[in-house]
Chains A and B, each alone.
Chain A
Amino acid sequence: MRIIETNKLNLRYNNRQILSDVSLTLKSGRITTLIGPNGAGKSSAFRILAGLVKPEKGTVRLDDIQLQSFEELRNHCGYLLESPDFYSYLSGKENLELLIQISKSKTDSEKLLQLVGLQNEGNKKVQHYSRGMKQRLGFAQVLINDPDFLILDEPFNGLDPEVKTQMLAQLVTLKNEGKGILVSTHLLEDMETIADDFVLLNKGRVYLKSNMEDNLNEKQKVVLHFSKSVKNLKQYYPENLFENNKIILMATISETEALLNDLYKQNFIPFRISRSSILHDKYMEITNESAN
């Protein structure tokens, strides 16, 4: 298993502390999601990992080997930094081929374009691309040289729901192929379905580290929505809260599964189930704090 570990990253800019002691770990075969409100320092952390910005303090290790600089990571990582900027006067294919040459790679540009669904748009100049198309091209260039780690800052920006779903599926495929993936996004719900580890960043500090296993074993608020009244069920489940056509409970995943099995037997099938997560709650906590 390959691992990238950053230790206590600190970054100051214009007398403002952007990052304070941020430590991140990326493991092959796992998706780590970096979340946080705007200005939390996510993009700065990504720029450090790409070697574009030098941290004031902090080190990085790759597979237990201390690297001299973050620039050394570039041989092992593919980067997508926010909205990618391409040469507008070149076609999508030409842009990819140019990056392939710089990377001394033998990757086939056509295959990459096909992977992101741009095979019919490859010869179009990038100046005629929509934001979503640029984002897809950005995702394609990440895969040049088949890197072990993918570092993706807001990769779903500007994507329509269909393409977003395809990209989420693509990330799972890449994870299953053994790639370590770091993603920053605001799409908590989507990432909760595919990510393994979560890092919540606030005001340049790590506010919370969690993983999917923890999340599943935590008692969380679950809301079951029904199309008919569930008042009659109150007598069987007195510990839960009944509200019109909803049952609201605090439960782990296995407890929720047990309750659902029970309800199915009584022919009460919820049309929608929502479960909050620690991550979501903490994220909302931070957002509300910032708003106040």
Chain B
Amino acid sequence: MNRLIKIEIFKLLKRTRTYLSIGLMVILVALIFWGLKSQGESALDYALQTLNRDFLVSGNILNGYLAIYVILNTLWIHIPILIVIVTADLFSSELESGTIRLILTRPLGRSYYLMSKYISSIIFVIIFMTIWAIISVLPAMLLFGKGDLIVIFEGLQIVEEKELFTKFFNAFLFAILGMSTFAVFSVSVSVFTRRSLNAILVTLGFLVISTLLQTMAPTIFKGWESFLITHHLAKWQFLFYSNPANSEVLSSTIWLVIFSAVCILASLFRFRKLKITE
């Protein structure tokens, strides 16, 4: 299996698409920094207008931690899109180009082959998210400095600077889990759709619809939201509560793992029967 995973990573590193996705992520983060640097102060003053009436806000509010928190919000849509354009293509591109036939005429089980795709997609997510974390944290600290974090999420949350490293570290770990689940989902979709473009569209369609359902009709889906992957992907925000809702985060972690396992099992079953000679 190690051998297969190494080969998959080698192929990933040789593909233009991989660098395109990482390049777009760098541009996205750079644009956020540029926006915060040029208009962050005025936007923050506007947002804190009401607060300033009742409280005396002192210190550096537009600090590096707030910048990272803003960047974390790209986990809703932007980062999943950039990940999916790479991972949804991992399996289906081999079906489309016919290389799967070349590989499977070697003494190699289908399950091993597909599992190597899943593992390499998760490794890609880890690499991608690590780069994302590095290019977010370092410039944020250099450009905006340190300070306490004030966020408005289900009320006003003020998190002291000393707690922030752990909270952001956990948020990044949770983000890796969330994005890995999404990557696993996209690989599974590609086993069923056979075509890369279809797999990308179906996965992104699922993301958009799931997000819409969650935000537009929360009352209708009350009780059902656990089945929406986006509901769990957003749980990193709970880590920034003054009293972190650890049980919520843990519950979503379990849901994401179960969701990934179901996706993998379903596609392994499908792949065993899949005609690869068409």
Contact = CB atoms under 8 A, between A and B. Distances in A.
A55 to B, nearest CB: 13
Contact of B10 (A74, A81, A98, A104): A98
Contacts of B97: 85, 87-88
Contact of A90 (B14, B101, B277): B14
Contacts of B101: 50, 52, 81, 85
B232 to A, nearest CB: 35
A194 to B, nearest CB: 24
A86 B277 contact: no
B277 A89 contact: no
A57 to B, nearest CB: 18
B106 A74 contact: yes
Interface string A82-123: 001111111000100011011110000000000000000000
B107 A75 contact: yes
Given A52-B276, A52-B277, A86 B3 contact: no
Interface string A41-54: 00000010011110
A74 B103 CA distance: 11
B contact patch SS: helix
Contacts of A102: 3-4, 7, 103, 106, 108
Interface residues of A, number: 24
A156 interface: no
B16 A74 contact: no
Contacts of B11: 87, 90, 98
A contact patch SS: loop
Contacts of A74: 105-108
Contacts of A88: 97
A40 B4 CA distance: 36
B15 interface: yes
B215 interface: no
Nearest to A75: B107
Contacts of B103: 99, 102
B102 A89 contact: no
Interface string B7-28: 1001100111000000000000
A98 B7 contact: yes
A73 to B, nearest CB: 9
Interface of A: 47, 50-53, 74-75, 79, 81, 84-90, 94, 98-99, 101-104, 141
